[in-house]
Structure 1
Amino acid sequence: MRHGKKVNHLGRTDSHRKALLANMASSLIEHKRITTTLAKARALRTYVEPLITKAKNDTTHSRRTVFSYLQNKEVVAELFRDIAEKVANRPGGYTRIIKLPNRPGDNAEMALIELVDYNTVYTKEAPAATEKKSTRRRGGSGKAKKVSAAPAAETPANDAPAADAPSTEETA
């Protein structure tokens, strides 16, 4: 029985599967998108996303760990230099799998796997300097909310005369 065994063996031995995923991960990092079968794309996602997460912490140990998986110095350098910088604020989900029509020869399900931040069609350029706001679970006492709401009500009345005055940028 296969209880608790989630890895897709892809019809290969363990060493062959590791080599396949390492080569596909290197190609994905180098080219930012690759076309493969749907099963291989799903297996690649679970292989490459932890490597990208590890690349966000640029230490010698994390570089050596990622290199032990990829075995390609140029790809590791690109991962830590370019990709880690782009995904620094993203908490996960670095890849996107898009289903394609079946392959004509053997009718295999095909898919396009790509790095999310490198697709300009789906992603809109957001300012990179946005900091993640800390959220609080507890509402706190109502007293603090009432105090902070009172000054906010006075500010629009004070700003009204300043809005009527012409600015120097508009006249120039």
Structure 2
Amino acid sequence: MALQRKLGRPTDQRKAILKSLVTSLLQNGKIQTTEARAKEVKNIAEKLISIAVSEVDNFTSKQVKVSKAKLDSDGRKITKTVTSKNGRKYEVVDREIKTDMVTVDSPSRLNARRKAINWVYRVKDENGKPINVVDKLFDEIAPKYKGKNGGYTRIYKLGPRRGDAAEVVILELV
């Protein structure tokens, strides 16, 4: 028995379609697609969200020393001139050491993140800055569904599409 619907596509194309739809669903919270695709995306998204919900509080925080470059008022790095052992002069970025609190994932949460990364593409916003959809899944979406067991998505039927009469639906996070 097949694990997923074939969707009339070769395996690589089918996986690419499903990955892009799952990414859009987690990024935007709602997508419009055909019914067969929506049912497949629903299965994948529900599994990813349930994995994230089970690992929602499974991390620790610790202090880490971080070396950062000093910046001037314009946001440029401050450099200083240094002389080497053989007498040559070169520029070195002036650095400062700070302590920051960082979250450290437990091994099971790290494994869950890696499973989610397999089904999500890297995306950028309209300004070209990268958006980490997996972070959004674990930090925003999963805590929202913490006390819930399944049923994270819903499907609304819109009717047949003009042209090929495929059933169009809206898949959204509840």
Q: TM-score band, normalised by the shorter chain?
A: 0.5 to 0.7
CA–CA distance in structure 2, aligned partners of residues 12 and 37 of structure 1: 14
Structure 1 residue matching 2:32: 3-state secondary structure: strand
C-alpha deviations, 1:40-65, integer Å up to 9, x for none? 10111111111111112141121112
Q: CA RMSD in A?
A: 1.4
Gaps of 5+ in 1: 117-172
Query: Where is the strand percentage greater, Structure 1 or Structure 2?
Result: 2
TM-score (norm 2): 0.61
Query: Which residue, 43, 51, 54 being the options, matches 1:54?
Result: 51
Provide the residue aligned with 2:153 in structure 1.
Answer: 95
Supply the AA of the counterpart residue of 2:146: A
Question: Contact 2:49 / 2:142 at 8 angstroms: preserved in 1?
Answer: yes
- 1:21 aligned partner: 18
Residue from 121, 136, 153 that aligns with 1:71: 121
Q: Percent identity?
A: 38
Give the residue type in structure 1 aligned to 2:143.
E
- Say whether 1:36 aligns with 2:33: yes
Q: Does 1:82 align with 2:140?
A: yes
Q: TM-score, normalised by structure 1?
A: 0.62
CA deviations 1:73-97 (Å, max 9, x no partner) are 6111111110001011110011101
1:135 aligned partner: none
Instruction: State the Cα deviation string for residues 16-73 of structure 1 (Å, max 9, x = none).
Output: 1111111100100111011100111011111111111111214112111211221336
Question: In structure 2, what is the Cα distance between the partners aligned to 1:103 and 1:111?
Answer: 10
2:161 pairs with 1:108: no
Is contact 2:23-2:119 (8 Å) kept?
Answer: no
Distance (Å, rounded) in 2 between the aligned partners of 1:106 and 1:49: 29
1:11 to 3, 8, 13: 8
Q: Would you identify which runs of 4 or more consecutive aligned residues in structure 1 move more than 3 Å? A: none
Aligned partner of residue 163 in structure 2, secondary structure: coil
Q: Deviations over 1:85-136 (max 9, x none)?
A: 10111100111011112111221100000001xxxxxxxxxxxxxxxxxxxx
Cα contact 2:46–2:153 (8 A) shared by 1: yes
Greater helix content: 1
* 1:6 to partner: Cα distance: 5.1
Structure label with greater radius of gyration: 1
